[in-house]
Structure 1
Amino acid sequence: MNRMPVAERREQLIEAAITVASRDGIEAATVRAVAAEAGVSLGVVHYCFQDKSELMRAMAHKITAQNAPTDLSELPDGMSTEDVVQAVVGAFWQSISTSRGSQLLSYELTTASLRHADLREVALEQYRGQRSAAEAVLEEIARVAGVEWAQPVPELARAIVAFVDGLSLSWLVDGDDDAARESMIRFGEFLVTRTVAHGAASSEA
Protein backbone atom coordinates (compact mmCIF):
# COMPACT_ATOMS: atom_id res chain seq x y z
CA MET A 1 0.00 0.00 0.00
CA ASN A 2 1.36 3.42 -0.94
CA ARG A 3 2.01 5.77 1.94
CA MET A 4 -0.20 8.82 1.83
CA PRO A 5 -0.51 11.90 4.08
CA VAL A 6 -3.33 11.48 6.60
CA ALA A 7 -5.32 14.39 5.15
CA GLU A 8 -5.25 12.83 1.68
CA ARG A 9 -6.07 9.40 3.07
CA ARG A 10 -9.07 10.83 4.93
CA GLU A 11 -10.34 12.39 1.70
CA GLN A 12 -9.92 9.06 -0.08
CA LEU A 13 -11.89 7.27 2.63
CA ILE A 14 -14.64 9.91 2.66
CA GLU A 15 -15.04 9.52 -1.10
CA ALA A 16 -15.10 5.74 -0.71
CA ALA A 17 -17.76 6.01 2.00
CA ILE A 18 -19.90 8.29 -0.19
CA THR A 19 -19.51 5.86 -3.10
CA VAL A 20 -20.60 2.88 -1.00
CA ALA A 21 -23.50 4.76 0.62
CA SER A 22 -24.73 6.19 -2.70
CA ARG A 23 -24.60 2.78 -4.37
CA ASP A 24 -25.77 0.47 -1.59
CA GLY A 25 -27.42 2.70 1.03
CA ILE A 26 -26.11 4.35 4.17
CA GLU A 27 -26.46 1.22 6.31
CA ALA A 28 -24.08 -0.57 3.94
CA ALA A 29 -21.34 2.00 4.55
CA THR A 30 -19.64 0.00 7.29
CA VAL A 31 -15.99 0.52 8.15
CA ARG A 32 -15.22 -2.82 6.51
CA ALA A 33 -17.07 -1.88 3.30
CA VAL A 34 -15.35 1.51 3.13
CA ALA A 35 -11.95 -0.12 3.60
CA ALA A 36 -12.70 -2.58 0.80
CA GLU A 37 -13.89 0.19 -1.52
CA ALA A 38 -10.74 2.23 -0.85
CA GLY A 39 -8.48 -0.82 -1.11
CA VAL A 40 -6.99 -0.38 2.36
CA SER A 41 -6.96 -2.34 5.60
CA LEU A 42 -9.41 -1.83 8.45
CA GLY A 43 -6.53 -0.46 10.50
CA VAL A 44 -6.06 2.42 8.05
CA VAL A 45 -9.70 3.47 8.42
CA HIS A 46 -9.52 3.29 12.22
CA TYR A 47 -6.28 5.29 12.16
CA CYS A 48 -7.92 8.10 10.16
CA PHE A 49 -11.32 8.06 11.87
CA GLN A 50 -12.02 7.32 15.51
CA ASP A 51 -15.33 5.61 14.71
CA LYS A 52 -18.16 5.43 12.17
CA SER A 53 -19.74 8.56 13.66
CA GLU A 54 -16.67 10.63 12.82
CA LEU A 55 -16.61 9.20 9.30
CA MET A 56 -20.29 10.01 8.79
CA ARG A 57 -19.77 13.56 10.05
CA ALA A 58 -16.98 13.95 7.52
CA MET A 59 -19.32 12.64 4.81
CA ALA A 60 -21.96 15.19 5.82
CA HIS A 61 -19.42 18.03 5.65
CA LYS A 62 -18.30 16.89 2.20
CA ILE A 63 -21.84 16.71 0.84
CA THR A 64 -22.72 20.13 2.29
CA ALA A 65 -19.65 21.65 0.63
CA GLN A 66 -20.50 20.00 -2.70
CA ASN A 67 -24.04 21.36 -2.57
CA ALA A 68 -22.97 24.94 -1.83
CA PRO A 69 -23.62 27.48 -4.63
CA THR A 70 -20.86 28.86 -6.82
CA ASP A 71 -18.52 31.67 -5.78
CA LEU A 72 -20.37 34.99 -5.96
CA SER A 73 -17.13 36.80 -6.73
CA GLU A 74 -17.71 35.71 -10.34
CA LEU A 75 -20.84 37.87 -10.60
CA PRO A 76 -20.39 41.10 -12.59
CA ASP A 77 -20.49 44.46 -10.83
CA GLY A 78 -23.60 46.60 -10.98
CA MET A 79 -26.15 43.81 -10.68
CA SER A 80 -29.42 44.64 -8.93
CA THR A 81 -30.33 42.94 -5.66
CA GLU A 82 -32.97 40.92 -7.50
CA ASP A 83 -30.44 39.70 -10.08
CA VAL A 84 -27.87 38.78 -7.42
CA VAL A 85 -30.40 36.81 -5.38
CA GLN A 86 -31.80 35.02 -8.42
CA ALA A 87 -28.27 34.16 -9.56
CA VAL A 88 -27.66 32.51 -6.20
CA VAL A 89 -31.04 30.77 -6.30
CA GLY A 90 -30.23 29.51 -9.78
CA ALA A 91 -26.88 28.18 -8.56
CA PHE A 92 -28.62 26.40 -5.69
CA TRP A 93 -31.07 24.75 -8.08
CA GLN A 94 -28.26 23.77 -10.46
CA SER A 95 -26.45 22.13 -7.56
CA ILE A 96 -29.56 20.27 -6.42
CA SER A 97 -30.73 19.13 -9.85
CA THR A 98 -27.34 17.76 -10.88
CA SER A 99 -26.66 15.84 -7.67
CA ARG A 100 -29.66 13.61 -7.04
CA GLY A 101 -27.51 10.94 -5.43
CA SER A 102 -25.92 13.39 -3.01
CA GLN A 103 -29.31 14.84 -2.09
CA LEU A 104 -30.72 11.41 -1.33
CA LEU A 105 -27.62 10.45 0.63
CA SER A 106 -27.93 13.62 2.70
CA TYR A 107 -31.41 12.56 3.85
CA GLU A 108 -30.24 9.02 4.51
CA LEU A 109 -27.44 10.38 6.70
CA THR A 110 -29.99 12.37 8.68
CA THR A 111 -32.46 9.54 9.20
CA ALA A 112 -29.73 7.02 10.02
CA SER A 113 -28.28 9.30 12.67
CA LEU A 114 -31.72 9.87 14.19
CA ARG A 115 -32.31 6.12 14.42
CA HIS A 116 -29.06 5.42 16.27
CA ALA A 117 -28.28 7.24 19.51
CA ASP A 118 -24.52 6.92 18.99
CA LEU A 119 -24.83 8.76 15.66
CA ARG A 120 -27.10 11.56 16.92
CA GLU A 121 -24.31 14.12 16.65
CA VAL A 122 -24.08 13.48 12.90
CA ALA A 123 -27.50 15.05 12.21
CA LEU A 124 -26.82 17.96 14.55
CA GLU A 125 -23.48 18.70 12.91
CA GLN A 126 -24.96 18.19 9.45
CA TYR A 127 -27.55 20.92 10.00
CA ARG A 128 -25.11 23.21 11.76
CA GLY A 129 -22.95 22.98 8.65
CA GLN A 130 -25.86 23.69 6.33
CA ARG A 131 -26.97 26.72 8.33
CA SER A 132 -23.40 28.00 8.48
CA ALA A 133 -23.12 27.67 4.70
CA ALA A 134 -26.43 29.51 4.26
CA GLU A 135 -25.22 32.32 6.54
CA ALA A 136 -22.07 32.68 4.44
CA VAL A 137 -24.16 32.92 1.27
CA LEU A 138 -26.45 35.55 2.80
CA GLU A 139 -23.48 37.64 3.91
CA GLU A 140 -21.96 37.39 0.44
CA ILE A 141 -25.25 38.42 -1.19
CA ALA A 142 -25.39 41.46 1.08
CA ARG A 143 -21.81 42.38 0.21
CA VAL A 144 -22.20 41.97 -3.56
CA ALA A 145 -25.61 43.68 -3.74
CA GLY A 146 -24.66 46.42 -1.28
CA VAL A 147 -27.61 45.79 1.04
CA GLU A 148 -28.36 44.57 4.55
CA TRP A 149 -30.79 41.96 5.81
CA ALA A 150 -33.90 43.14 7.64
CA GLN A 151 -33.68 40.29 10.16
CA PRO A 152 -30.82 38.45 11.85
CA VAL A 153 -28.84 36.38 9.36
CA PRO A 154 -28.98 33.18 11.50
CA GLU A 155 -32.80 33.32 11.48
CA LEU A 156 -32.92 33.76 7.72
CA ALA A 157 -30.32 31.02 7.22
CA ARG A 158 -32.46 28.60 9.21
CA ALA A 159 -35.45 29.44 6.99
CA ILE A 160 -33.38 28.85 3.86
CA VAL A 161 -32.19 25.45 5.06
CA ALA A 162 -35.74 24.44 5.95
CA PHE A 163 -37.06 25.57 2.55
CA VAL A 164 -34.31 23.94 0.48
CA ASP A 165 -34.62 20.78 2.57
CA GLY A 166 -38.34 20.49 1.87
CA LEU A 167 -38.04 21.42 -1.78
CA SER A 168 -35.23 18.92 -2.37
CA LEU A 169 -37.16 16.09 -0.74
CA SER A 170 -40.30 16.92 -2.74
CA TRP A 171 -38.25 16.99 -5.95
CA LEU A 172 -36.66 13.64 -5.14
CA VAL A 173 -40.16 12.19 -4.81
CA ASP A 174 -41.92 13.69 -7.83
CA GLY A 175 -39.00 14.62 -10.09
CA ASP A 176 -40.81 17.75 -11.29
CA ASP A 177 -37.94 19.99 -12.40
CA ASP A 178 -40.17 22.83 -13.58
CA ALA A 179 -42.16 23.04 -10.34
CA ALA A 180 -39.01 22.92 -8.21
CA ARG A 181 -37.29 25.60 -10.30
CA GLU A 182 -40.35 27.85 -10.09
CA SER A 183 -40.51 27.39 -6.32
CA MET A 184 -36.85 28.40 -6.05
CA ILE A 185 -37.52 31.55 -8.08
CA ARG A 186 -40.46 32.48 -5.85
CA PHE A 187 -38.33 31.92 -2.75
CA GLY A 188 -35.70 34.19 -4.26
CA GLU A 189 -38.36 36.87 -4.66
CA PHE A 190 -39.20 36.47 -0.98
CA LEU A 191 -35.54 36.86 -0.02
CA VAL A 192 -35.35 40.14 -1.92
CA THR A 193 -38.17 41.49 0.29
CA ARG A 194 -35.96 40.81 3.32
CA THR A 195 -33.23 43.21 2.12
CA VAL A 196 -32.91 46.87 3.07
CA ALA A 197 -30.55 49.67 2.15
CA HIS A 198 -27.30 49.98 4.10
CA GLY A 199 -27.95 51.48 7.53
CA ALA A 200 -31.71 50.98 7.38
CA ALA A 201 -31.71 47.85 9.53
CA SER A 202 -29.71 49.48 12.33
CA SER A 203 -31.75 52.68 12.22
CA GLU A 204 -34.97 50.71 12.63
CA ALA A 205 -33.62 48.76 15.61
Structure 2
Amino acid sequence: MSRMSIEERRAQIVDAAMSIAIREGVEAVTVRGVAAEAGISLGTVHYCFEDKDAMLRAMGHSVALVASDPVRMALDPTQDLYTIAHAAADGLWQGLTPRRHMRLLTFEFATAGSRNGALRPVARAHLEQTWAMTQGILDQLSEIAGITYSMDTPFLARIVAGYIDGIEIAWLVQQDDEATIRSFHALADYVLSLVVHPDGAADAAGPAEAS
Protein backbone atom coordinates (compact mmCIF):
# COMPACT_ATOMS: atom_id res chain seq x y z
CA MET A 1 0.00 0.00 0.00
CA SER A 2 1.42 3.41 -0.99
CA ARG A 3 2.07 5.96 1.73
CA MET A 4 -0.43 8.83 1.95
CA SER A 5 0.70 12.39 1.30
CA ILE A 6 0.01 14.89 4.07
CA GLU A 7 -2.85 16.36 2.00
CA GLU A 8 -4.44 12.91 1.65
CA ARG A 9 -3.95 12.21 5.35
CA ARG A 10 -5.56 15.53 6.29
CA ALA A 11 -8.53 14.72 4.07
CA GLN A 12 -8.83 11.32 5.77
CA ILE A 13 -8.77 12.96 9.20
CA VAL A 14 -11.39 15.55 8.21
CA ASP A 15 -13.64 12.79 6.84
CA ALA A 16 -13.33 10.89 10.12
CA ALA A 17 -14.11 14.03 12.11
CA MET A 18 -17.14 14.67 9.89
CA SER A 19 -18.43 11.15 10.56
CA ILE A 20 -18.25 11.73 14.31
CA ALA A 21 -19.88 15.16 14.03
CA ILE A 22 -22.75 13.80 11.93
CA ARG A 23 -23.41 11.02 14.47
CA GLU A 24 -22.85 12.90 17.71
CA GLY A 25 -22.47 16.62 17.00
CA VAL A 26 -19.50 18.94 16.55
CA GLU A 27 -18.77 19.15 20.28
CA ALA A 28 -18.23 15.37 20.37
CA VAL A 29 -15.22 15.65 18.03
CA THR A 30 -11.93 15.00 19.85
CA VAL A 31 -8.44 14.30 18.57
CA ARG A 32 -8.45 10.89 20.26
CA GLY A 33 -11.87 10.03 18.85
CA VAL A 34 -10.87 11.10 15.35
CA ALA A 35 -7.70 9.02 15.52
CA ALA A 36 -9.76 5.97 16.50
CA GLU A 37 -12.34 6.66 13.81
CA ALA A 38 -9.66 6.96 11.14
CA GLY A 39 -7.65 4.00 12.48
CA ILE A 40 -4.47 6.04 12.89
CA SER A 41 -2.28 7.15 15.78
CA LEU A 42 -2.72 10.32 17.85
CA GLY A 43 0.70 11.38 16.63
CA THR A 44 -0.46 11.26 13.03
CA VAL A 45 -3.40 13.56 13.79
CA HIS A 46 -1.12 16.01 15.62
CA TYR A 47 1.35 15.90 12.73
CA CYS A 48 -1.37 16.95 10.29
CA PHE A 49 -3.15 19.46 12.53
CA GLU A 50 -1.59 21.65 15.22
CA ASP A 51 -4.55 21.18 17.54
CA LYS A 52 -8.26 20.37 17.64
CA ASP A 53 -9.24 23.90 16.61
CA ALA A 54 -7.14 23.64 13.45
CA MET A 55 -8.92 20.38 12.64
CA LEU A 56 -12.32 21.96 13.25
CA ARG A 57 -11.43 24.90 11.01
CA ALA A 58 -10.56 22.44 8.25
CA MET A 59 -13.93 20.75 8.78
CA GLY A 60 -15.75 24.08 8.52
CA HIS A 61 -13.92 24.97 5.33
CA SER A 62 -14.77 21.58 3.83
CA VAL A 63 -18.47 21.99 4.65
CA ALA A 64 -18.57 25.45 3.04
CA LEU A 65 -16.84 24.22 -0.13
CA VAL A 66 -19.19 21.28 -0.58
CA ALA A 67 -22.27 23.47 -0.07
CA SER A 68 -21.21 25.92 -2.80
CA ASP A 69 -20.30 23.34 -5.48
CA PRO A 70 -23.76 22.94 -7.13
CA VAL A 71 -24.21 26.71 -7.35
CA ARG A 72 -20.79 27.29 -8.92
CA MET A 73 -21.54 24.60 -11.50
CA ALA A 74 -24.71 26.49 -12.46
CA LEU A 75 -22.85 29.70 -13.40
CA ASP A 76 -22.78 29.12 -17.16
CA PRO A 77 -21.15 32.12 -18.90
CA THR A 78 -23.00 31.29 -22.17
CA GLN A 79 -26.39 32.07 -20.57
CA ASP A 80 -28.09 35.39 -19.86
CA LEU A 81 -28.12 36.92 -16.39
CA TYR A 82 -31.70 35.95 -15.55
CA THR A 83 -31.14 32.32 -16.58
CA ILE A 84 -27.88 32.09 -14.62
CA ALA A 85 -29.44 33.51 -11.45
CA HIS A 86 -32.30 31.04 -11.53
CA ALA A 87 -29.99 28.16 -12.44
CA ALA A 88 -28.07 29.05 -9.28
CA ALA A 89 -31.37 28.84 -7.35
CA ASP A 90 -31.90 25.37 -8.80
CA GLY A 91 -28.32 24.53 -7.79
CA LEU A 92 -29.09 25.48 -4.19
CA TRP A 93 -32.03 23.08 -4.17
CA GLN A 94 -30.20 20.28 -5.96
CA GLY A 95 -27.35 20.55 -3.49
CA LEU A 96 -29.56 20.59 -0.41
CA THR A 97 -31.23 17.18 -0.39
CA PRO A 98 -28.18 14.94 -0.91
CA ARG A 99 -26.14 17.06 1.49
CA ARG A 100 -28.67 17.20 4.31
CA HIS A 101 -26.19 15.99 6.93
CA MET A 102 -23.57 18.47 5.74
CA ARG A 103 -26.01 21.36 6.10
CA LEU A 104 -26.91 20.15 9.58
CA LEU A 105 -23.20 20.33 10.38
CA THR A 106 -23.13 23.95 9.20
CA PHE A 107 -25.74 24.85 11.79
CA GLU A 108 -24.00 22.66 14.38
CA PHE A 109 -20.89 24.82 14.00
CA ALA A 110 -22.92 27.96 14.66
CA THR A 111 -24.78 26.64 17.69
CA ALA A 112 -21.70 24.97 19.18
CA GLY A 113 -19.78 28.23 18.83
CA SER A 114 -22.53 30.20 20.57
CA ARG A 115 -22.49 27.80 23.54
CA ASN A 116 -18.80 27.02 23.81
CA GLY A 117 -16.25 29.81 24.13
CA ALA A 118 -13.46 27.55 22.95
CA LEU A 119 -15.34 26.79 19.74
CA ARG A 120 -16.44 30.38 19.11
CA PRO A 121 -13.37 31.35 17.04
CA VAL A 122 -13.87 28.23 14.93
CA ALA A 123 -17.57 29.03 14.41
CA ARG A 124 -16.67 32.63 13.54
CA ALA A 125 -14.08 31.45 11.02
CA HIS A 126 -16.63 29.12 9.46
CA LEU A 127 -19.19 31.93 9.24
CA GLU A 128 -16.64 34.21 7.56
CA GLN A 129 -15.78 31.42 5.12
CA THR A 130 -19.47 31.10 4.25
CA TRP A 131 -19.73 34.84 3.61
CA ALA A 132 -16.57 34.73 1.50
CA MET A 133 -17.91 31.80 -0.55
CA THR A 134 -21.20 33.64 -1.11
CA GLN A 135 -19.38 36.82 -2.12
CA GLY A 136 -17.22 34.79 -4.50
CA ILE A 137 -20.34 33.51 -6.26
CA LEU A 138 -21.85 37.01 -6.43
CA ASP A 139 -18.55 38.36 -7.80
CA GLN A 140 -18.42 35.56 -10.37
CA LEU A 141 -21.97 36.36 -11.49
CA SER A 142 -21.02 40.03 -11.71
CA GLU A 143 -17.98 39.23 -13.86
CA ILE A 144 -19.88 36.87 -16.18
CA ALA A 145 -22.77 39.29 -16.75
CA GLY A 146 -20.78 42.54 -16.65
CA ILE A 147 -22.93 44.04 -13.93
CA THR A 148 -22.61 45.49 -10.42
CA TYR A 149 -25.02 45.61 -7.49
CA SER A 150 -26.77 48.58 -5.93
CA MET A 151 -25.62 47.30 -2.53
CA ASP A 152 -22.11 46.81 -1.18
CA THR A 153 -21.20 43.25 -2.25
CA PRO A 154 -19.71 42.03 1.06
CA PHE A 155 -22.87 43.16 2.87
CA LEU A 156 -25.09 41.62 0.17
CA ALA A 157 -23.20 38.35 0.64
CA ARG A 158 -24.11 38.37 4.33
CA ILE A 159 -27.78 38.95 3.51
CA VAL A 160 -27.89 36.25 0.83
CA ALA A 161 -26.10 33.74 3.07
CA GLY A 162 -28.58 34.53 5.86
CA TYR A 163 -31.55 33.97 3.53
CA ILE A 164 -30.09 30.65 2.37
CA ASP A 165 -29.59 29.50 5.95
CA GLY A 166 -33.17 30.41 6.86
CA ILE A 167 -34.63 28.64 3.83
CA GLU A 168 -32.59 25.52 4.52
CA ILE A 169 -33.43 25.41 8.23
CA ALA A 170 -37.12 25.64 7.33
CA TRP A 171 -36.72 22.73 4.89
CA LEU A 172 -34.84 20.61 7.44
CA VAL A 173 -37.74 21.07 9.87
CA GLN A 174 -40.76 21.08 7.53
CA GLN A 175 -39.50 19.06 4.53
CA ASP A 176 -41.67 21.28 2.29
CA ASP A 177 -39.95 20.87 -1.09
CA GLU A 178 -42.23 23.20 -3.06
CA ALA A 179 -41.94 26.09 -0.62
CA THR A 180 -38.17 25.66 -0.50
CA ILE A 181 -37.77 25.74 -4.29
CA ARG A 182 -39.99 28.82 -4.52
CA SER A 183 -37.97 30.48 -1.76
CA PHE A 184 -34.67 29.90 -3.57
CA HIS A 185 -36.09 31.39 -6.76
CA ALA A 186 -37.50 34.35 -4.81
CA LEU A 187 -33.98 34.91 -3.50
CA ALA A 188 -32.67 34.86 -7.09
CA ASP A 189 -35.24 37.53 -7.97
CA TYR A 190 -34.14 39.59 -4.98
CA VAL A 191 -30.52 39.52 -6.14
CA LEU A 192 -31.63 40.41 -9.68
CA SER A 193 -33.55 43.39 -8.29
CA LEU A 194 -30.23 44.79 -7.02
CA VAL A 195 -28.41 44.43 -10.33
CA VAL A 196 -27.10 47.58 -12.04
CA HIS A 197 -26.00 47.38 -15.67
CA PRO A 198 -23.08 49.37 -17.12
CA ASP A 199 -25.46 52.06 -18.40
CA GLY A 200 -26.67 52.57 -14.83
CA ALA A 201 -30.06 50.96 -15.34
CA ALA A 202 -31.41 48.56 -12.77
CA ASP A 203 -32.35 45.05 -13.90
CA ALA A 204 -35.97 44.87 -14.93
CA ALA A 205 -36.35 41.09 -15.03
CA GLY A 206 -39.59 39.86 -13.54
CA PRO A 207 -40.02 37.01 -11.08
CA ALA A 208 -39.87 33.47 -12.40
CA GLU A 209 -42.10 30.64 -11.40
CA ALA A 210 -40.26 27.77 -9.74
CA SER A 211 -40.34 24.66 -11.83
TM-score by length of 1: 0.90
- Per the alignment, residue 111 of structure 1 pairs with 111
Aligned equivalents of 1:17 and 1:62: distance in 2? 11
Task: Tell me, yes or no, if structure 1 residue 97 matches structure 2 residue 97.
Answer: yes
- Per the alignment, residue 51 of structure 1 pairs with 51
Unaligned runs of 5+ residues in structure 1 are none
Unaligned runs of 5+ residues in structure 2 are 202-211
Q: Secondary structure at the match of 1:98?
A: helix
Counting only pairs closer than 5 Å after superposition, residues 38-187 of structure 1 correspond to structure 2 as: 38-68=38-68, 69-72=70-73, 75=76, 77=78, 79-187=79-187
The runs of at least 4 consecutive aligned structure 1 residues that moved more than 4 Å come to: none
Give the paired residue count: 200
TM-score by length of 2: 0.88
Is the CA contact 1:146–1:198 (under 8 Å) kept in the aligned structure 2?
yes
Q: Secondary structure at the match of 2:196?
A: strand
Q: 1:199 to 1:154 in 2, by over 3 A?
A: farther
Aligned equivalents of 2:149 and 2:109: distance in 1? 32
How far apart are 1:123 and its partner, in Å?
A: 1.1
Aligned equivalents of 2:77 and 2:141: distance in 1? 13
Task: Tell me, yes or no, if structure 1 residue 189 matches structure 2 residue 189.
Answer: yes
How far apart are 1:99 and its partner, in Å?
A: 0.7
Aligned equivalents of 1:188 and 1:70: distance in 2? 12
Higher relative contact order (CA 8 A, sep 6+): 1
Q: Secondary structure at the match of 2:118?
A: helix
Cα-to-partner distance string for 1:124-166 (whole Å, 9 max, x where unaligned): 1111101111111011111222222111110110101111111
Aligned equivalents of 2:131 and 2:109: distance in 1? 16
Cα-to-partner distance string for 1:92-149 (whole Å, 9 max, x where unaligned): 2211222110011111122112222111111111111011111110111112222221
How far apart are 1:4 and its partner, in Å?
A: 2.4
How far apart are 1:46 and its partner, in Å?
A: 1.5
Cα-to-partner distance string for 1:162-190 (whole Å, 9 max, x where unaligned): 11111111111111111111111111111
Q: Secondary structure at the match of 1:200?
A: coil
